[in-house]
Amino acid sequence: MCLAIPGKVIEVFEDRGLRMARVDFVGTVRKVCLEHLAEAGPGDYVLVHVGFALSRVDPEEAERTYQFLAELGQLDELQAPETT
């Protein structure tokens, strides 16, 4: 129910006083309400739930989390005995 998926903002437009966007979810484009996410614009990834953009995906935080996890255990590998 609380399913929310990231999509890329293609364009922003106005619909009777609401700030809306067309958002691309890997080929499927849907109209999304962007009114409550002032910081997001074209090119940004936003997290969308039932046609409502909840938050902008922070690319730096996403990269930082992923890199941190991907590098887990590398220090252990460094401590392994060297083979000649």
Partner 1 sequence: MKYLDEYRDGRVAAKVLAEIRRVTRRPWTLMEVCGGQTHSIVKHGVDRLLPTEIELVHGPGCPVCVTPLEQIDKAHVIAASPGVIFTSFGDMLRVPGSRTDLLRLKSEGADIRIVYAPVDAVRIAQENPDRQVVFFAIGFETTAPANALAVARAKALGVSNFTVLVSQVLVPPAMTAVLQSPGNRVQGFLGPGHVCTVMGYAEYEPIAAHYGVPIVITGFEPIDLLDGVLRTVRLLEAGAARVENQYSRVVSRAGNTAARRLMWSAFEVCDRKWRGVGTIPKSGLRLRWEFREYDAERRFQVGALETCEPAVCISGQILRGLKKPHDCPAFGTACTPASPLGATMVSAEGACAAYYTYGRFQESVTTHPVTTP
Contacts with partner 1 by CB under 8 A lie at: 1-6, 8, 16-18, 25-26, 30, 33, 35-38, 45, 47, 49-52, 54-59, 61-62, 64-66, 69-70, 72-73
Judged by beta carbon, residue 12 or residue 52, the one nearer partner 1 is: 52
Judged by beta carbon, residue 11 or residue 58, the one nearer partner 1 is: 58
Judged by beta carbon, residue 17 or residue 81, the one nearer partner 1 is: 17
CA distances from 18 to 51, 74, 83 (A): 13, 49, 64
**CA end-to-end distance (rounded Å), the chain:** 55
Q: Where are the alpha helices (DSSP H) in the chain?
A: 59-70, 74-79
